[in-house]
Amino acid sequence: MKLEALIIAGVQEAMRNLYGQELGLESIALNETKKEFVGDITVVVFPLTKFSRLGPEQTAEAIGTYLVKSIEYISAFNVVKGFLNLQIANSYWLSFFKAEHNNLEFGKGEKKRKVVLEYCGPNTNKPLHLGHIRNMLLGYSTANLLSFAGNDVHKVNIYNDRGIAICKSMLAWKLFGAGATPESSGLKGDHFVGKFYVEFDKHYKAEVQALVEQGLSKEVAEKQAPLIVKAQEMLVQWEQGDKEVLALWNKMNSWCYEGFEETFKALGVDFEKHYKESDFYLQGKSLVDEGLKKNFFYKKEDGSVWVDLEDKGLDHKLLLRGDGTSVYITQDMGVAEARYQDYQFDESIYVVASEQDYHFKVLQLVLEKLEKPYAEGIYHLSYGLVNLPNGRMKSREGTVVDADDLIAEMIATAEKHTKELGKIDDFTPEEAQALYKTLAMGALKYFMLKVSPKRSMIFNPEESIEFQGDTGPFIQFNYVRIQSLLRKQTLAQLQLDGIEINEDEKDLIKDLYKFPALIQGAAANYDISELVSYCYSLAKNYSKFYANNAILVDTTEDLKNFRLLLSRWVAEVLKSSFGILGIEMPNRM
RNA sequence: GGUCCGCUAGCUCAGCUGGAUAGAGCAACUGCCUUCUAAGCAGUAGGUCUUAGGUUCGAAUCCUAAGCGGAUCACCA
């Protein structure tokens, strides 16, 4: 039985035998004992006093005495105010160490649910930016976390590959592109397409400006500018299946996909399947028809279709335009349906920014109205926006932090730091380059993932991402030191007789002990940042241990071997945790 | 205006379903490389946890208001 469960049962038993009281689990609170007190686990006695009808100290004394007698692994206790601090015998930690230190599956959970996790969701009209980076890192790592915790996870992407925005890029290319291609211009595909999106905006603004000068109101001008009218015509042609438009659309989208693939590769994220909205908006429409037939939805005189969500505290929501064309949510309904047909999932997770909280609430409620069995399993993993120090990234003001640029900058910074330290002079250029990338991505990913997903975060492009302190490279550094130790010494069979563990060693074993529960907790909360914090705490404790304790020299063979095995286990847990985060470990740095 | 989210050290963030004297990193200042990688270790300084009430043995944490900031409420996606 787990330590915590053992103690709770022990306290229940104590309360029964000492005071004749039957306590539920909820009235027994356990905490980790704070550093400044002696002990490992603390029972908070205050809630128990009303059952014991004695003061907190007296109650704590009595329970402590009882537990030391009844539970083998509790070696001693002390009472501070209403806190009963229990000391766990070293033999407990050592037997745990012995049992698990060679377990390659340590921390992995039992098989549970089938989960589909959607992330990324780019528009195919411009390159990926910092917001997408947060999305991709969260999506990829959360999928790994859920998988490690025991779920059968399938990662999918959704391409928002249709709509007016794409038409803008297409139109601009047609008008101003002069037949250029990514190859001919030497640009990455998505950047090439994005260039025309910007180009459109530039010419469109000029047109609007000209119309305003002719005396039109800004509002009217924005609707009547020839470019926007043409773009809208193009959208209609697209829906009608115009061959020429479709050909152009396919060509430009494929340029985007090529560009995206490169970025996915650089970031180390992948997908089992890419859904395209263009493939499913019709299916969404048929779902709307289905809802109409069953009277879950209603049609207005102009032909638009709505759903009444007032009973759920929301308002009426449009599902289909008066002209019969689909809106954003129509497509999402179609994709949701298709995804269930594809996977029969227990849970479908959408990693999408918090600005779409309302949208996903509506989506889920609409699917519930339709009595879809999978509606209940939908979970919106909402994350906060990435802001700049002076607010939101704005493409108009050119403050968007481009994903590819940022990755390149990080690699350059990693190279600079590494060269300053001069520890890898014997590396080949290829090895060095690989290391820069590993460290750069370690720093970037750790930086993005250590913030709780829900929270919006601030990114300051003026300050480069740290490589010291609470960072990815710090964890990698500790891993590398352990690898260096292991290269110098071969391991022998564990021999624990006569090993007296000290505080530093015990802290590490306790950290390792927490790992499986940490994984389950983080997975239950969909919170990858909990794993990041755990890694930092483990690595920090290791760093302290490393500084205070000789491992290879001045030790007996058994002690050396124990410390090496302990180090190796720490390294393994760090490595598998970083694997979940999507960060590689170098062997030297 | 309705709804939702946030506010913790100069900056960036932890602080799990209430528990002991609120923690890290960066920045500042002090020590420590002839021990296994100093991208490190040890230490100093830095806080009215936005404010006001409430709940209770106990509140950064829960409740109610207020302030400030953000998001959202489109026949945009």
**Nucleotide with smallest C1' distance to residue A354 CA:** B71
Å between CA of A34 and C1' of B54: 30
The residue type found at A34 is K
**Nucleotide with smallest C1' distance to residue A439 CA:** B39
Query: What is the full DSSP assignment across A512-560?
Result: HHHHHHHHHHHHHTT-HHHHHHHHHHHHHHHHHHHHH--SSSSS-HHHH
Q: What is the pLDDT of residue A1?
A: 60
Å between CA of A365 and C1' of B46: 49
Distances (CA, A) of A487 to A313, A421, A438, A483: 63, 21, 21, 6
Does the interface ipTM go beyond 0.90? Answer: yes
Q: Which residues contact A464 (CB under 8 A, 6 or more apart)?
A: A409, A413
A3-88 to CATH, choices 3.40.50.720, 3.30.1360.70, 3.40.640.10, 3.20.20.140: 3.30.1360.70
Å between CA of A293 and C1' of B13: 52
**Cα A276 to Cα A51: distance, rounded to the nearest angstrom:** 61
Q: Which residues contact A436 (CB under 8 A, 6 or more apart)?
A: A411, A414, A415, A418
**Nucleotide with smallest C1' distance to residue A554 CA:** B35
Å between CA of A518 and C1' of B48: 34
**Cα A284 to Cα A334: distance, rounded to the nearest angstrom:** 4
H-helix or E-strand containing A227? helix A226-240
**Cα A538 to Cα A443: distance, rounded to the nearest angstrom:** 17
Q: What is the pLDDT of residue A566?
A: 97
Strand B: which bases are under 7 Å from protein Cβ?
4-6, 11-16, 19-21, 24-27, 35-42, 57-58, 70-77
**Protein residue with the closest CA to the C1' atom of nucleotide B73:** A358
Å between CA of A56 and C1' of B59: 20
**Cα A209 to Cα A217: distance, rounded to the nearest angstrom:** 10
A403-581 to CATH, choices 1.20.120.530, 3.30.2270.10, 1.10.730.10, 3.40.50.2300: 1.10.730.10
**Nucleotide with smallest C1' distance to residue A34 CA:** B20
**Nucleotide with smallest C1' distance to residue A536 CA:** B24
Tokens of A240: 């009608």
**Protein residue with the closest CA to the C1' atom of nucleotide B37:** A481
**Protein residue with the closest CA to the C1' atom of nucleotide B32:** A547
**Nucleotide with smallest C1' distance to residue A47 CA:** B57
pLDDT by position in tens, chain A (length 589): 689 999 999 999 999 999 998 888 778 889 999 988 999 999 999 999 989 999 999 999 999 999 999 999 999 999 998 899 999 999 999 999 999 999 999 999 998 899 999 999 999 999 999 999 999 999 999 999 999 999 999 999 999 999 889 999 999 999 999 999 999 999 999 999 999 999 999 999 999 999 999 988 888 888 899 999 999 999 989 988 999 999 999 999 999 999 999 999 999 999 999 999 999 988 999 999 999 999 999 999 999 999 999 888 888 999 998 888 888 899 999 999 999 999 999 999 999 999 999 999 999 999 999 999 999 999 999 999 999 888 888 877 788 999 999 999 999 999 999 999 999 999 999 999 999 999 999 999 999 999 999 999 989 988 889 999 999 999 999 999 999 999 998 888 888 888 889 999 999 999 999 999 999 999 999 999 999 999 999 999 999 999 999 999 878 899 999 999 999 999 999 999 999 999 999 999 9
**Protein residue with the closest CA to the C1' atom of nucleotide B19:** A44
**Nucleotide with smallest C1' distance to residue A419 CA:** B39
Nearest to residue A368, comparing CAs of A205, A360, A252? A360
H-helix or E-strand containing A31? strand A29-32
Query: Hey, where are the domains in chain A?
Result: 3-88, 114-387, 403-581
Å between CA of A513 and C1' of B27: 35
Å between CA of A215 and C1' of B1: 33
**Nucleotide with smallest C1' distance to residue A391 CA:** B70
β-bridge partners, A383: A353
Q: What is the pLDDT of residue A264?
A: 98
**Cα A475 to Cα A576: distance, rounded to the nearest angstrom:** 12
Classify residue A469 by its DSSP letter. S
**Protein residue with the closest CA to the C1' atom of nucleotide B18:** A29
The domain at A114-387 falls in which architecture? 3-Layer(aba) Sandwich (3.40)
Å between CA of A100 and C1' of B36: 25
Å between CA of A448 and C1' of B50: 27
